[in-house]
Amino acid sequence: MAFRSMQALKSLGSLGSKRDQGSHSSPAAINRHNEISLPVEDAGAETKRKKRRNKRKASSEESDEEARKRARGTARSPREEEKKNDAATFPSDEFKVRYEEVAPLGEGGYGAVYSGFRKLDRLPIAIKHIPKDKVVYTEMSLNGEMCSLPLEVLLQLKAGSGAGPDSVGTTAAVTLLDWFELPDELILVLERPVPSSDLISYLEARGDSIRECEAKTIMKQLVDAAMVIHSEGVFHRDIKLDNVLIEGFGEPRVRIIDFGCGCILKPGAYTEAPGTFEYSPPEWFKRGSYKAGPTTVWQLGVTMYAMLAGCLPFDTKREIVRNTPQLGNGFSHYCQHFLQCCLDKSPERRPTLERLQLHPWLH
C-alpha cells in the first residue's frame, strides 16, 4: 500500500475552505491512484512530460494508412489505446485485489459501510462506500497548483496525525488505510478495531445506561480525543453515540469514527447545518450559526447525558432551546456540574475543551 509520507500534507502553505458538491478537475495522480499521501512531483517528472510531448507529436504525424485502418475499424487511435490502458489499471480492480468485502455494518445519509479484511494479512477493515454526488471536495494549493481532494480523506488523515498502516490503533480517530476514487463513488478503507461496538450497542448491552464511574472513564477519553482532533485542525461536527466506538474488553477505550460531516477547523462561525439534529446546539436555532469549540462541548454533553440517563435529552427544536435536562439524585455533584457546564444554553459560558480537561469530575 502506498503511504509514502505525510510531509506533503503537513507542508501545505494554504488550505482553502471552498467546498463543492460538483465535479472537479483534479490532477490525475489524485483521481486515479489510491495513495493516501498527497502526490508530489518526482525527479522523473520532466522525463514523463517529454514522453507526453513525443506522444502528441507522433499522434499528429499519423500516416494516411493508419487513418484508413481506423476508418475501417481495424486500428485504434492513440486516445482509444490510452483508454484501454486506463481500464486495465482501474482503481476498482486494485481494490478487489487488495481487499475482501464481507458484510454490511451500517448505512446512512453519507453512504454504506461494510466489514472486510485486507488480503495481505487478514487485518480487519471497514469499507465505506460514498456515492459520488455525496462527496465534498476541498481545494488546496500543492506545489504552487490548486487541486481538489475529497474532504473526508483529508480530515481522516489530519485527525490521525498522519498515522499509516503500521500505526493502526495508535490514535483516537480510526486510521484511514487506503482510498479509491471511482467514477460513481469514493471508497474509504478504514481500520476496524476488533472487538469493538458503537456506543449505542455498548449501552444496549448494559441496559441502556452505565454507572457514573464508567461514564467518567469514557468522557475523559472523549474530551482528550476532541482536543487532539481540534489540534490537528479538524472539526468533527458530529460527536454522538453512533460515532463513538468502544474498543476491547475490560476498561473501555474510545475511538472516533465517521468524519463525513466534518470540516476544517476555523476560529469563526459556521452557517451550514451541523451534524445530527438532536445533537445540534441551541445557538444554531437562535442565531443560525455556531462555533467549533462550544458545539463540540455541547455534543459531548448530549452524549454524556445519554450514557447516564439511557435516552437523549432533546427531541425537538423547542426542547433544545428551552429545556434544561437534569440527572437524578443518584449522581455526584461534580458529575451534575460537568453536565450543566456542557449543556449551558449560552455558547459563551460553556467551558473550553481545555477547561473541561481540568474539571474535578474527571480527576
* Residues 142 and 8 sit within 8 Å (Cβ to Cβ): yes
- Concatenate the DSSP letters of all residues of 115-141 into one string: EEEETTTTEEEEEEEEEGGG--EEEEE
Torsion of CA 211, 215, 216, 217, to 10 degrees: 110
The catalytic position among 198, 238, 242, 344 is 238
CB count, 10 Å around CB of 248? 13
Which residue shows C-alpha cell 487511435? Answer: 77
Residues in the chain: 363
Identify the three-state secondary structure at position 114: strand
Cell numbers given for 229: 482532533
Grid coordinates belonging to 46: 520532466
The per-type count for the chain, helices as H runs and strands as E runs, is 14, 13
User: Is the alpha carbon torsion for 8, 157, 91, 30 positive or negative?
Assistant: negative
Q: Cα separation of 147 and 271, whole Å?
A: 25
Find, among 94, 95, 235, 33, the residue nearest to 152 by Cα: 235
Angstrom distance (rounded) from CA 318 to CA 110: 27
Give the CA angle between residues 243, 247, 252 to the nearest 5°.
100
Distance separating alpha carbons of residues 111 and 261, to the nearest angstrom: 12
133 carries an active-site annotation:
no
Q: What positions carry a catalytic annotation?
A: 238
